[in-house]
Amino acid sequence: MTQYTAGTYDVIVVGAGHAGCEAALAAARLGLKTVAFTINLDSVALMACNPSIGGPGKGHLVREIDALGGQMAINLDKTFIQVRMLNTKKGPAVRALRAQADKIAYQYSMRYSLELQENLDLIQEEIVKILVKGQKVIGVVTKTGGVYYANAVILTTGVYLCGKIYVGDVSYNGGPNGLFPANELTNSLIDLGFEMGRFKTGTPPRIHKDSIDFSKMIEQPGDKEIIPFSYTTGKINREQVSCWLTYSNEETHKIIEENLYRAPLYSGQIKGAGPRYCPSIEVKVVNFKDKKSHQIFIEPEGINNSEMYIQGLSTSLPVDVQIQMTRSVKGLENAKIMRFGYAIEYDFVIPTQLKPTLEAKKIDGLYMAGQINGTSGYEEAAAQGLIAGINACMKIKEREPVVLQRSDAYIGVLIDDLVTKGVKEPYRILTSRAEYRLVLRQDNADMRLMEIGHNIGLISDDRYKKMICKKGMIEKEIERLGSVKLTPNSDTNEKLKKLNTSPINTPVTLEELLKRPEISYESLKELDETREELPSEIIEQVEIAVTYEGYIKRQINQINRHKKMENKRIPEDINYDDIHGLRIEAREKLKEVMPLSIGQASRISGVTPADITVLLIYLEAQKRKRTSG
């Protein structure tokens, strides 16, 4: 292959999926000359799996991406066809938005965002090699021999690395949705000394809408009041499309069991670990034998096509079995399958080889984000892409890297988990992974992160000022509620009685009353006649702050206590072999992960509190040596 010099950029992004798009947009917006390569221009921001974005943890990520100046929320707001707030019966910390996107519309709106972006080129080319000089990345080579140079390269290759498709006993090299795999890049990574792993994921069949009998299913409409994902989106009034719920049955399970020997998951063909939270129907039937039926959601892939996604029926059984089992489901008796389900196996890079900045420890300027790091999910990918894009720029501009803490954001939890603990299955964010869940809410992502986004340069002064103003209004209102005292008199107590709450016999502030579980800000109006009308998002924040004050304070105290450890930096050139008194296991683990802070070190499994003490004493000794010598 003849090579030629094709161009020079600041930042190269390899792959234009959900991670790649955010990385490329962030880099270009921060003023760097950027190019994004995609294996197929028509599959930019492809939603290869389900047509939905959000949910617990994931919806939080989307909000955080928005607060840091990413694109996902904005384009999702433009293209979703249904939206729901989940967990509304629970508390604010675990409420989460989830939307059904119009896949094609989302994809093309993202592609258009890239096309319109200044400083950004979008090119269809497969990258086969990463060029490195010494320990520094210098560029990439395309399959057709083009050599592109850059100061930073961000790999966001999704499930394409040595992708292999399985349907029954048929298997072949391929990417998702009939796209090409990227077979050569893995070798380039191995040559650079990266340790690779292999994961598996799968998809269900897609069915023609007109072949479904919806009358036999339960309708799942969207919320009446639409709450957008992006803080920049105004009120949305949109006709929404429903999803539908049906169930598998004993007949379905019988068909599966009888054909298990033909399932590549059970015949030993597939070796990669699959996600436990997204098992194929065959795994569900085998692992939960007692369950006579499983939920199946029928979700539209978009408005301008007839494809319906059969959520819950993910499978790699042979095509004839797929047809049989699908048609055994109520309402799908006459189903016409348009695409068959498949499993895909792919390579990923063991993520403990990355720094919390998402830069590879081994190679300067090489960043990775998304499924290449062993995660799953569009939202997880986009979040990493954004951070990798930002940090590539920070490095080039010689600015401090952006590392979000576990107490700052779900993004912090996600990346810290990846680089500190590694992955045993495709990693999905869950709210239960966050230790500071009450603080990391989807409703306050703007107040948690916009300042950081503004400092980075991705949040405009205008947006930032708006947020500061919102914050001010919230604080002012809380202060006011704390200062207005009600005196115990018959009028007041009459009103309290109407609110089904106990009367007062000493003066009580409105704030104290709002803390009562039976009283809302709205109902307090009776006793607070002179108050100004406030926007609903302000009221929401005031209510949360007052009702959960004690709990939130406790969590903030915990965060502050841990901050010292998180802020205690471990120099990158530390030599763990030098440290007297570390146990061998701890030494090996520390060498593998190379944590950046004492806090991160303490989260590595196999490192005990005594090891941390030893480390602290060593660091103190080093510091004293330096200052005295």
Partner 1 sequence: MSAVADTIAAISTPIGEGGIGIVRLSGDRSFQVAKKIFKPRSKRDIDKFENRKLYLGNIVDPETHEVIDEVLIVFFKAPHTYTREDMVEINCHGGLMAQKKILDLTLRDEVRIADPGEFTKRAFLNGRIDLSQAEAVIDVIRAKTERALVMANRQLAGGLSDRVQDIRKNLLSIIVHIEANIDFPEEDIPEADLSHIKQEIEDTRVVLDRLIQNSGAGKIMRDGISTLILGNTNVGKSSLLNALLKEERAIVTDIPGTTRDVIEEYVDIKGIPIKIIDTAGIRRTKDKVESIGIRRAMDYLDEAQMILFTVDASRNMTDDDLYLIDKVKDKFTIVVLNKVDLPLKFEQKTIEELLPGKKIVKVSALKEEGIDELKQAIYDAVEQEIGFLDEHAIIAGERQRQVMQKAKESLDLAIESMANQMPVEVVELDIRQAWEKLGEITGDTVSDNIITAIFENFCIGK
Residues at the interface with partner 1 (CB under 8 A)? 55-57, 86-87, 90-94, 276-279, 281, 283-284, 287-288, 291, 294-295, 297, 311-312, 314, 421, 430-433, 435, 437-438, 517, 548, 551, 561, 564, 580-581, 605, 609-610, 613-614, 616-618, 620-621, 624-625, 628
Among positive and negative, which fits the CA dihedral 27, 29, 31, 36?
positive
Question: CA-to-CA distance for 541 and 550, rounded, in angstroms?
Answer: 15
Closest to partner 1 by CB, 54 or 389: 54
> Is the backbone of residue 605 left (phi > 0), alpha (psi -120 to 50) or beta?
beta
Q: Residue 498: helix, strand or coil by DSSP?
A: helix
**CB of residue 429 vs partner 1: minimum separation in angstroms?**
9
Question: CA-to-CA distance for 494 and 500, rounded, in angstroms?
Answer: 10
Q: Which of 461, 438, 441 is nearest to 451 (CA)?
A: 461
Q: Using CB atoms within 10 A of its CB, is residue 127 exposed (0-12), middle (13-18) or buried (19+)?
A: buried
- Other C-beta atoms closer than 10 Å to the C-beta of 174 total 17
**CB of residue 218 vs partner 1: minimum separation in angstroms?**
12
Closest to partner 1 by CB, 292 or 497: 292
**CB of residue 435 vs partner 1: minimum separation in angstroms?**
8
Q: Which of 386, 418, 417 is nearest to 402 (CA)?
A: 386
Q: Residue 256: helix, strand or coil by DSSP?
A: helix
Q: Using CB atoms within 10 A of its CB, is residue 298 exposed (0-12), middle (13-18) or buried (19+)?
A: buried
**CB of residue 274 vs partner 1: minimum separation in angstroms?**
11
**CB of residue 293 vs partner 1: minimum separation in angstroms?**
9
Question: CA-to-CA distance for 594 and 600, rounded, in angstroms?
Answer: 9
Q: Do residues 382 and 376 make contact, with C-beta atoms less than 8 angstroms apart?
A: no
**CB of residue 535 vs partner 1: minimum separation in angstroms?**
24
Q: Which of 37, 41, 48, 43 is nearest to 15 (CA)?
A: 37
Count CA within 13 A, CB hemisphere, residue 597. Answer: 17
Closest to partner 1 by CB, 112 or 288: 288
**CB of residue 554 vs partner 1: minimum separation in angstroms?**
8
Q: Do residues 15 and 38 make contact, with C-beta atoms less than 8 angstroms apart?
A: yes
Contacts (Cβ under 8 Å, ≥6 apart) of 45: 16, 17, 18, 21, 75, 106, 107, 110, 111
Q: Which of 258, 247, 246, 245 is nearest to 293 (CA)?
A: 247
Closest to partner 1 by CB, 80 or 367: 80
Closest to partner 1 by CB, 138 or 430: 430
Closest to partner 1 by CB, 134 or 517: 517
Closest to partner 1 by CB, 459 or 519: 519
Q: Which of 101, 127, 132, 145 is nearest to 16 (CA)?
A: 127
**CB of residue 98 vs partner 1: minimum separation in angstroms?**
8
Question: CA-to-CA distance for 388 and 401, rounded, in angstroms?
Answer: 10
- Token pair in block for residue 453: 């986004």
**CB of residue 233 vs partner 1: minimum separation in angstroms?**
24
Closest to partner 1 by CB, 399 or 433: 433
**CB of residue 567 vs partner 1: minimum separation in angstroms?**
12
- Token pair in block for residue 376: 């799953």
**CB of residue 617 vs partner 1: minimum separation in angstroms?**
6
Q: Residue 230: helix, strand or coil by DSSP?
A: coil
Closest to partner 1 by CB, 268 or 517: 517
Question: CA-to-CA distance for 36 and 14, rounded, in angstroms?
Answer: 6
Closest to partner 1 by CB, 103 or 428: 428
Question: CA-to-CA distance for 45 and 13, rounded, in angstroms?
Answer: 13
Question: CA-to-CA distance for 273 and 468, rounded, in angstroms?
Answer: 45
Checking DSSP bridges between strand 485-486 and strand 170-173, what pairing results, if any?
unpaired
Q: Using CB atoms within 10 A of its CB, is residue 293 exposed (0-12), middle (13-18) or buried (19+)?
A: middle
Closest to partner 1 by CB, 435 or 592: 435
Closest to partner 1 by CB, 62 or 68: 62
**CB of residue 255 vs partner 1: minimum separation in angstroms?**
18
**CB of residue 204 vs partner 1: minimum separation in angstroms?**
11
H helix or E strand, kind and range, residue 227: none
Closest to partner 1 by CB, 26 or 62: 62
Question: CA-to-CA distance for 139 and 190, rounded, in angstroms?
Answer: 17
Closest to partner 1 by CB, 115 or 250: 250
- Token pair in block for residue 400: 């401090």
Q: Residue 8: helix, strand or coil by DSSP?
A: strand
Q: Which of 509, 510, 503 is nearest to 489 (CA)?
A: 503
**CB of residue 81 vs partner 1: minimum separation in angstroms?**
17
Closest to partner 1 by CB, 62 or 127: 62
DSSP lists the bridge partners of residue 82 as 100
**CB of residue 381 vs partner 1: minimum separation in angstroms?**
19
